[in-house]
Structure 1
Amino acid sequence: MNALIAMLAQRLKGLRGEGLRGQLVKGGIGSLGVNGGRILLQFAVAVVLARALGAAGYGVYAFALAIVTLLAIPAQVGLPQLVVRETARAQVEERWARMRGLWTWSTVFVLAFSAVLLVPFVIAWTVGIPFLSEDRASALLWGLLLVPLLALGQLRGAALHGLRRVVLGQLPEHIIRPALLVIFTLIVIVLPLSYPLDAAGAMALHLLAAAIAFVFGAWLLLRHIPEQLHGLRTREYDARVWLSAAWPLALLGGMHVINHSAAVVVLGFFATDADVGVYRIVAQAATLVSFGLTALTQVVMPHFSRLHREGDYHRLQQLVTQSARAILLLSLPPAIVFVLFGEWILAVVFGEEFAVGYVALVILVSGQLVHAAMGPVAILLNMTGHEKDSLKGVATAAVLNVALNLSLVPLFGLEGAAVAMALTLTTWNLLLRRAVMRRLGLEMLAVPMTRKTRHD
C-alpha cells in the first residue's frame, strides 16, 4: 500500500517541487495506516458484538444505530465537508479570523440542532413508541445521546483535515472510538456480571467510547491550530454563504446516510432481527473492497480544493487519474477473497448463523467494486464547489435505493437488500462521473474511456 502512495506521488512530477508530493506520500501512508487500523477495528467491533449479542441481538443494535444515523443528519447539516473546504481556503488566503469564525459558528450550529433533535425523541421514548420493541427502544435512547458527540467529533476531524493534518483528523473517530468500544465490550463480557450484555448495553458502551474520543479530538485540535490563531479574539462570520453551501452538503450527506441505512431499516420492518444482524455484518465486510477509496479520499480531499482554487486543472487531472488507479489496485484483492472464501469467513469469524449471508456478500462486493473503480468522484465535486451536482446524483440514487428496498426486501430478504444497494452504488457513480465531465472536464476512471479530457 505504501508503494502505491509513492507511485501516486512519483507520477505527479509536474507538481510544485517536493511540497505536494511530500504531503501526498506522508499523508497517504499515514491515511492508509489509519484506515487500515479503522477497518481492522470495525471488524473487531463487529466480531465482538456479533459473538456477544448473537444475530438477533446484533440486529437490534444495528437497527437502532441505523435510526440514530438517519436522525443525526440534521445535527451535522453538511458541515464536516464544508469545514474541510473552507478551512483549507482560509489557510491559503491567510484569513485567520474567518477560520476562527467558521469553527465557532459550526460548533454552535451543531449544538443547537442536536438539542432540537434530542428533546422530542426523549419525550416520545418516555411516553412509548408503539412500533418499537422494548429492546429496540432502549438501544435507541442510548443511541440518541451519541448524536451531538459524533457530530462535534466529525467537526474537529474536519478542521484538522482542512489544516492538512490528515492522519490526526482521523484518529479520534476512526481509531480511538472503535478501539475503546472493543475494549469496553471485552471487559463487560469478561466481568462476572449478573446480567448478559444486550443491545442497549452495547449502545451505552458506544456512547462512553465516543465521549472519550471527542475529548481526545478536541485536545488534538488545540495542539495543532495555526500560530496565527493563538490569542486571536476576532472572528469573521459569513453565515449566509456558509449556510448556502452547507444545505446542499447536508442533503448530500443525508442521501449518503439513506443509501447506507435504508436496507437495515427496511429489513427491520419486514424481516427478523437476525436478518438485520446478518445483513449488517455482510455490508460491513463488503466495504473492505472500497478501503482504498476511503483512505486515499482523506489524503486528496484538501488538495482537490487547493488545486481547483489555483485553477491548475492539468495537475488536478493527474491527481485524479493516479489516485483512481491506486484505489482500483487496492480494491481487487479483498473482492477476490470474499468471492472465493466469503462463506467460510462469515461462519468462522462471526458464527455459523451468519454464513447465510454469503450470497448477499458477493452481490454487495460487486457493487463496492464498481464504487471503488469510479474513484473519489463525489468528493471531487464537493471540494470544487459543485455539491449541488453531487446532490442531484446521490438524491436520485437514494430514491432508487428506497424504492428497490421496499420492492425487493419483502420478496427476497437479504439478497433483495444487497441487490438494491449494488444497483444504487452503480447508478450513483455513473451519474456523478457524468457531472464531473460536464462541470470540470475531468475523467474519473482509472482507465479512461475517452482519449482526451478538456485539460490534457
Structure 2
Amino acid sequence: MPDKENVKKKRGGLLSKLLGMGFFRIVAIPVSLITSIVLARSLGAESFGQYSFMMTLLAVLAVPVTGGVRSILTREVAIARHDEDLDRFKSVARAAFVWVVSCSALFCMLGLLAIELSLIPDGEKWSYLWIVIVMLPLMGLGAVRDGLLKGMKEPFWVVFLSLFLHPLFLLAIVALVFWFGELTVASGLLSQMVAMILVLFLSWFVLTSKESFSGARQGERYAAGNWIRMLLPFFFINLIKVLGTHMAMLLLGFMDTDQAVAAFRVAERGAYFVGMALVLINIVIPPYIVEAWRNHDRRKVKKILSQSALNGLLLSLPIALVFIVFGENIVGMVFGDDFKEISYLPLVILSIGQLVNVLFGAALILLAMTGFERDVVWSQLLGLIVSAGIAVALIPLWGASGAALGTVAGHFVVNVFVAYCVIKRVKIRPSFL
C-alpha cells in the first residue's frame, strides 16, 4: 500500500508540474505577441526588421556558447544527484560556467575587433551588432541555469523563468520606454538585455535555494578536452535545431531588405497560432505515449496519435481559414498598415504549412519517446538543407514569400521522413496515413 501511495503521489506531482508548465507556456504566448505588436507599431517595418534580424543573429551566434550546455548539464547533474555525488555535481556546474564565460569572452573580443577593423557588412542594422555581442554571455548563463534546473528535476522553474518571466519583464520594460521615451532598435535590444539580467538575478536565488554551489572545483572528468568531447554531439544537435528555426530569417537578413525580414516575422507570429494546438499536444501526450509503448500496446499508441492529430486539426483549421480569408485586415489592424500587404501572403503560406504539421501529428514526439532520437536528428538536418536551398533560390524572386515557401517545404520533408521512420521503426502508421 505505501508503495502504491508513493507512486500515486509521484504521478500527481508530475501531472501538476506538467499542468503548471503548460499554463505558463500558454500565458507567455499573448505576452510575447503584445511585445511584438508594440515594437512593430512603434518602430515601423524597416526598424522592426532590423530588430528582428539582430535577435535572430543573437540566437545563431550564441550556439557555440550555449550549444549542448543545457543537455549535458541536465544529464550530468541528474546522474550526480542520483548517485549522491556532490563533487561531480559541483564540478560539472563549475565546468559549464567556465566554458560559457571563456567562450563568451572570446566571441566578445573577436566581435568587437571585427567592428573596430571595419570587417562588418555595411548597413544601419549592423551598427547594433555590439549589443548582440554583449548579450552572448547572458545567453550562456541562461543555458547553464536551464541545464542545472532540469537536472535537478525542476523543469517548472525553467519554463517560469525563461518562457514566462522573461517575456513579462521585456513587455514591462518596453512599455516603460514607450511611455517615457522613444522606442528605437537600440532601446528594444537593450530592453532585451535588461530583461535577461533581471531573470538571471532571480535565477540565482532559485538555484541557491535548491542547491549549494560553494566550494565547486574542476574534476578531471570535466577537464577542457573531456568537456569538449562530451559537448560536441549535443552542440551539433542544437546547431541543427537553431538553424532550422531561424534559417529563413537569417537568409532574408543577408539577401533581402529589412522590410522583408519584418514581414516574415509578423507572418511567423500569426502562423504560430495555427500550430499552437500541436505545441499543446506535444506538451501533454509524451507520458501517455511512453506508457503505452512500454506496455507494448501499439493499438493505443496509434489511437493517441490519431486522436491528437484530429483534435489538433479541429482547433487549427478555423484559425487558418480566418487568416487565409481575413488575414490582410487582421495584420493591418493588429500590427499596423505598414505590414498589411507585405505580411499577408507569407502568413497564408506559413498557416497552410502549420496545418500540414498538425495533420502529421505527434509522429516526431513518438520517435523521440521510443528511443529513435537519431532519426529525429537526421530528419531535422534533411529539412534544414531543403529549407535553406529553396529559400536561397526563391528569396531573390519573392522575398518573404520565398522564405516562407522554403520553410514550409523543409517542414514537409521533415514530416514525410519522420512518418517513414515511424512506419519502419515503430510499425505504426502516424495520424491520417
Structure 1 residues 221 and 96, CA gap change in structure 2 (3 angstroms): same
What residue in structure 2 maps to residue 392 of structure 1?
378
Q: Which residue of 2 aligns with 1:126?
A: 116
Q: 1:125 to 1:156 in 2, by over 3 A?
A: same
Q: CA deviation at 1:97?
A: 4.0
Distance 1:297 1:237, change over 3 A: farther
Describe how 1:10-409 pairs up with structure 2 within 5 A: 17-19=7-9, 21-133=11-123, 135-191=124-180, 193=181, 196-225=182-211, 238-239=221-222, 243-244=228-229, 246-295=231-280, 297=282, 312=294, 314=296, 322=304, 325-326=307-308, 329-330=311-312, 332-340=314-322, 341-356=326-341, 357-374=343-360, 387-409=373-395
Paired with 2:88 and 2:302, the residues of 1 have a C-alpha distance of: 29
Q: Aligned with 1:132: secondary structure?
A: coil
Contact 2:73 2:93 in 1 (8 A): yes
Secondary structure of the equivalent of 2:340? Answer: helix
CA deviation digits over 1:301-340, x for unaligned, max 9? 7x699x79xx946489968974885576356535522431
How much has 1:75 moved relative to structure 2? Answer: 0.8
1:92 CA drift (Å): 4.6
Contact 1:59 1:277 in 2 (8 A): yes
Contact 1:28–1:296, Cα closer than 8 Å, also in 2: no
Moved more, 91-100 or 318-327: 318-327
In the TM superposition, what is the alpha-carbon distance from 1:55 to its structure 2 partner?
Answer: 0.9
Q: Distance in 1 between matches of 2:66 and 2:78?
A: 19
202-211 or 233-242: bigger deviation: 233-242
C-alpha displacement of 1:367: 2.1
Residue 410 of structure 2 corresponds to which residue in structure 1?
A: 424
Query: Mean alpha-carbon deviation: is it higher for 118-127 or for 241-250?
Result: 241-250
Alignment of 1:410 with 2:399, yes or no, is no
What is the deviation of 1:76?
Answer: 1.1
**1-side partners of 2:200 and 2:185: how far apart?**
22
In structure 2, what is the Cα distance between the partners aligned to 1:32 and 1:130? 41
The CA deviation at 1:422 is: 0.8
1:377–1:444 CA contact under 8 A, matched in 2: no
Q: Is the 8 A contact 1:166 1:299 kept in 2?
A: no
**How far apart in 1 are the matches of 2:383 and 2:306?**
22
CA contact (8 A) 2:69 2:144 kept: yes
Cα deviation 1:30-57 (Å, max 9, x = unaligned): 1221111221111011101101101111
Measured after TM superposition, the shift of residue 77 of structure 1 is 2.4
Deviation at 1:405, TM superposition (A): 0.7
Q: Would the aligned equivalents of 1:79 and 1:155 in 2 still touch at CA under 8 Å? A: yes
Distance 1:18-1:256 versus aligned 2 partners, 3 A rule:
same
**How far apart, CA to CA, are the structure 2 residues paired with 1:383 and 1:82?**
18
Contact 1:65 1:140 in 2 (8 A): no
Distance 1:373 1:236, change over 3 A: farther
CA displacement 1:264-306 (0-9 Å, x = unmatched): 22222333211211111111222233335445656777x699x
In structure 1, C-alpha distance between the alignment counterparts of 2:281 and 2:156, rounded to whole Å? 11
> Matched residue of 1:145: which SS?
helix
C-alpha distance in 2 between matches for 1:93 and 1:324: 40
Q: CA deviation at 1:99?
A: 3.6
Q: Describe the superposition over 1:68-126 as per-residue Cα deviations: whole angstroms up to 9, x where unpaired.
A: 21111111122223333444454455555434433332222222222222211111122
Alpha-carbon spacing, 1:138–1:324, altered in 2? closer, same or farther (3 Å)? farther
Structure 1, unmatched stretches of 5+, are 1-13, 450-456
Letter paired with 1:422: V
Q: Distance in 2 between matches of 1:317 and 1:375?
A: 16
**Runs of at least 5 residues in structure 2 that lack an aligned partner in the other structure:** none
Give, in whole Å, the separation in 2 of the partners of 1:373 and 1:402: 23
TM-score (normalised: structure 2): 0.84
Seen in structure 2, the aligned counterparts of structure 1 residues 152 and 393 have a Cα distance that, compared at 3 Å, is: same
User: 2:320–2:352: 8 Å Cα contact kept in structure 1?
Assistant: no
Conserved 8 A contact 1:324-1:374: no
SS in 2 for 1:52: helix
Structure 1's 211 and 54: CA in aligned 2 closer, same or farther, altered over 3 A? same
- The farther-off stretch of 80-89 and 395-404 is 80-89
Aligned length: 423
Is contact 1:255–1:398 with CA below 8 Å preserved after alignment? yes
Letter in 2 for 1:125: I
**Aligned alpha-carbon RMSD (Å):** 3.6
SS for the counterpart of 1:418 is helix
